[in-house]
Structure 1
Amino acid sequence: MSDWQQVPLSEVVTRVTTKNVDGTNENVLTVSAEHGLIAQESFFTKKVASKDTSGYYVVAPGQFVYNKSTSKSAAYGTVARNLSDEPGIVSPLYFVFEAKDGVALPEFLELSLNSTQFFSSLAGMLREGARSHGLLNVRLGEFYSATVTLPPESVQQQIVEIISAVDNQVSALNAESEALDGVYRGFLHSLGERYGEVKISEVVSQAFAGGTPSRSKTEFYGGDIPWLKSGEVENDCIATAAEFITEAGLKGSSAKMVPPGATVVAMYGQGDTKGRAGFVEAPVSTNQAVLALIPDENLVLPRFLLHAVRSKTDDLRHRAVGSSQPNLSKSLVLTQTIPMPDSLADQEQALAAIDSVRADQASTREEAGRLREVRSVLLSGLLDRTIDIEPAKLGV
């Protein structure tokens, strides 16, 4: 192809419909917006595929998969390529296809198919009501009719190199963040080795859980009071929430306000949610699954309490009770022992080192987030030619 073109996806790829008819391939894959095409057990930490996978599509190395599931970072789903040397299988809900020989570089095609341009074209193809419950009801004809941007092959290669350079920087920052997280976990472990332990109840002045305003009363929701749920607990600086309630909702329920300086603990929730701890920076209300711990500041520094509780996350989870879904309770949390230095001065010294690591980690994550935003704008600009390819290449 001699120049830039916009062509239907059907001219660039061929649909793949090979089924796992004999059921011998057990390498079940899933598509993640963050991680691409990966083993399902790595993503979900358990096998969620059907027992009978004979109807699953086989994905050979180099072939593409489109996942219609939407998320905050993937409003129209995600396209990923099998980068391994082994074939895998995917749910028949996914679309599987492969690039036609000599039409586009596979690396470029993956970028183009995850671009604003492609998904805008796809959105224009969708009929009314195609979006429902986090899954786009995309028909085959709609997907393969969406248009893809195809510059000359030399330009495709340049775009791949530019975006790869940004991706490499993001990967390096992610690796640094993971290393810092390891340092932090090491600090938490050392607390238990260096200091004696006390029950949480001995160093808090109050402990209480919240509640849920009646969902049948619309006047209870949509206000300006953040209402924290257990899945939002693991954060060093909690100042808001995904959902808000009104003053009437607060007064008309068991929901309670938690002051800044409190440590909150998730008492139950899916997966590893229970036992997580976070730190409240601004007033929030909570539901019944979140226990607020108000520190006695004569005995414990507020942020030291957070880290001391986190050092016992595994212990808390092991203490959870219940047959179908083990949960924690207020009494179980309060009787949990945590490491505690004898003096506030010793706590302050340990806290300075821990918070320094956490600050570095937060800064690294923020930089990676900014680079991901730059990547999105850069790719869009390169594909719609509002960014000249040569200056962009020189700038990376």
Structure 2
Amino acid sequence: METTLGAVADWSAGGTPKATNRSFYDGGDIPWAIISDVQNGPLTETTNCITQAGLDSIGGAKKIVPEGAVLVSMYGSVGRSAIARIPMATNQAIARGVVGDQLSAEYLFLWINANEERLDQMARGATQRNINKQIVTAFPITVPPAPTQERIVEVIGAIDNQITALDGEAEAATRVRDGLLNEFTGAAAADTKPLGELCPVIGSGPSWAAKDESSAPSEGALTVLKITNTKPDGSIDLSELAYVAGLPNRTKIIGPTSLVMIRTNGNRKRIGNVYLPPAEVHGAAVSAFQFTLDAIDAETRDYLYLVLRSPRIQHQMSESASGSTGLGNLAVRWLKTLEIPWPDAEMREVQVESVRVIDTKIAAINSEAERLRNIRARLLSGLLNRTIDIESAERGV
């Protein structure tokens, strides 16, 4: 059956209690979801809670949606969805759908999840792109018979369970690695050296005008590794590099002993994040939001990549960034004085290798999880548009 989201679910939006009235928030125990809570999966807890007074200020009990409600982001990350696993309130940037008898809530969530890009393409607005409730309710949906809905949910759920298990393995391995890094960089380190001695050249990249940037190489243009290429998970994404013409001759470039670090960011936890650039970007520049750190040799670079990633030193760099509001900035002068634990060469080699083994394991787990996510996306799309029959999908899973 071809119909619309408005025909298969009752849609509403939430509200936001006045932020300056702390009695609406302090000590609250009513879950209240915001856009960042909506992460294309089950939502079991919210970042924030509100009080009964806060709930009453936005409309009272009618603003609570039940377990099983499907949430859709209408602002920011438009089209991103979640399924509520507990009753909760939400802000006004989230559309909430409660299904009727003819539709499974899990099937509705999968439909919206598969159509996130289409919903995002419908967003409008110069300053903040958004969709509204009318766009959500008018969006088309194909509703198969209830048994087929259930079978689709089970097939995709089996893959989701595998992905969840892999994500758990990666998180556990990351905790082990971070524990080692903190142990290696503990306060009891006998010998230290200032970072400026180990990296004599530390500097940020240049700024440039948007008109000078291109998505394709051109004569006289340098490849630039932008902050969007350096991901929060520590990886470097080379799928969309930029090329900039007219950069100054003094522009620092990435070399075989270089590290890249985030200098400026609105998120303090990202300031000081460090990356090991692959050979493909040797000769590239970075933006003004990043540093290049040129170590005295490759062995020193490898050890610094270990030390600077430790949660202890990451926290130290984040806390040392200047700026009380908006963007925080890490100063070169401070960075050069940062004391780095410096055991003997044999111990440094052992530490680097022990962390490298865990990093390799984490990368392999994440790669398998990403492979399954791609399979899931293709399979879900095929099941929903009926180019893949459910029987073959069940045999494959």
Give the TM-score range, shorter chain.
Answer: 0.7 to 0.9
Number of the residue aligned with 2:245 = 247
Give CA-to-partner distance per residue, 1:281-326, whole Å, 9 cap, x none: 222212233222111128x432211112223212222333344355
Distance 1:14 1:285, change over 3 A: same
What SS does the aligned partner of 2:253 have?
strand
1:243 shift after superposition: 5.6
Of stretches 319-328 and 345-354 in structure 1, the one that deviates more from structure 2 is 319-328
Contact between 2:41 and 2:83, CA under 8 Å: does it hold in 1?
Answer: no
TM-score between both structures, scaled by the size of structure 1: 0.80
The aligned amino acid for 2:245 is: E
Number of the residue aligned with 1:259 = 255
For residues 133-152 of structure 1, the aligned pairs below 5 Å read 135-140=129-134, 142-152=135-145
Contact between 2:196 and 2:336, CA under 8 Å: does it hold in 1?
Answer: yes
Distance 1:364 1:91, change over 3 A: same
1:211 matched to 2:206: yes
1:276 matched to 2:250: no
For residues 104-123 of structure 1, the aligned pairs below 5 Å read 104-116=103-115
Number of the residue aligned with 1:357 = 358
For structure 1, the residue ranges without an aligned partner over 5 or more in a row are none
For residues 120-269 of structure 1, the aligned pairs below 5 Å read 130=124, 135-140=129-134, 142-193=135-186, 196-215=191-210, 218-219=211-212, 221-222=214-215, 224=217, 225-230=222-227, 232-233=229-230, 238=236, 240=238, 244-248=242-246, 250-251=247-248, 255-269=251-265
The aligned amino acid for 1:268 is: T
Number of the residue aligned with 1:383 = 384
Contact between 1:235 and 1:277, CA under 8 Å: does it hold in 2?
Answer: no
For structure 2, the residue ranges without an aligned partner over 5 or more in a row are 18-22
Distance 1:332 1:61, change over 3 A: same
The aligned amino acid for 1:287 is: S
Distance 2:81 2:114 in 1: 10
Number of the residue aligned with 1:309 = 308
Distance 1:27 1:226, change over 3 A: farther
Contact between 1:255 and 1:288, CA under 8 Å: does it hold in 2?
Answer: no
RMSD: 3.3
Distance 1:201 1:62, change over 3 A: same
Number of the residue aligned with 2:58 = 55
Distance 1:9 1:322, change over 3 A: closer
Distance 1:78 1:230, change over 3 A: closer
Distance 2:7 2:213 in 1: 53
Contact between 2:14 and 2:94, CA under 8 Å: does it hold in 1?
Answer: no
Distance 1:355 1:370 in 2: 22
Distance 1:384 1:260, change over 3 A: same
1:93 matched to 2:89: no
Identity across matched positions, percent: 22
What SS does the aligned partner of 1:301 have?
helix
1:383 shift after superposition: 1.9
Give CA-to-partner distance per residue, 1:10-64, whole Å, 9 cap, x none: 321123468789968753202423445465537xxx99xxx89833743232222
Give aligned pairs, total: 367
Distance 1:304 1:255, change over 3 A: same
1:221 shift after superposition: 4.7
Contact between 1:180 and 1:361, CA under 8 Å: does it hold in 2?
Answer: yes
Distance 2:244 2:265 in 1: 24
What SS does the aligned partner of 2:272 have?
coil
Distance 1:358 1:94 in 2: 37
Contact between 2:274 and 2:308, CA under 8 Å: does it hold in 1?
Answer: yes
The aligned amino acid for 1:289 is: F
For residues 29-108 of structure 1, the aligned pairs below 5 Å read 29-31=33-35, 32-37=38-43, 41=47, 54-55=57-58, 57-69=63-75, 71=77, 77-84=79-86, 87-100=87-100, 102-108=101-107
TM-score between both structures, scaled by the size of structure 2: 0.80
The aligned amino acid for 2:316 is: D
Number of the residue aligned with 1:371 = 372
Give CA-to-partner distance per residue, 1:156-180, whole Å, 9 cap, x none: 1111111110000000010011011
1:351 shift after superposition: 1.4
What SS does the aligned partner of 2:57 have?
coil
Contact between 2:13 and 2:94, CA under 8 Å: does it hold in 1?
Answer: no
Number of the residue aligned with 2:294 = 294
Contact between 1:235 and 1:279, CA under 8 Å: does it hold in 2?
Answer: no
The aligned amino acid for 2:263 is: M
Distance 1:110 1:354, change over 3 A: same
Contact between 1:30 and 1:38, CA under 8 Å: does it hold in 2?
Answer: no
Number of the residue aligned with 1:318 = 319
1:192 shift after superposition: 2.2
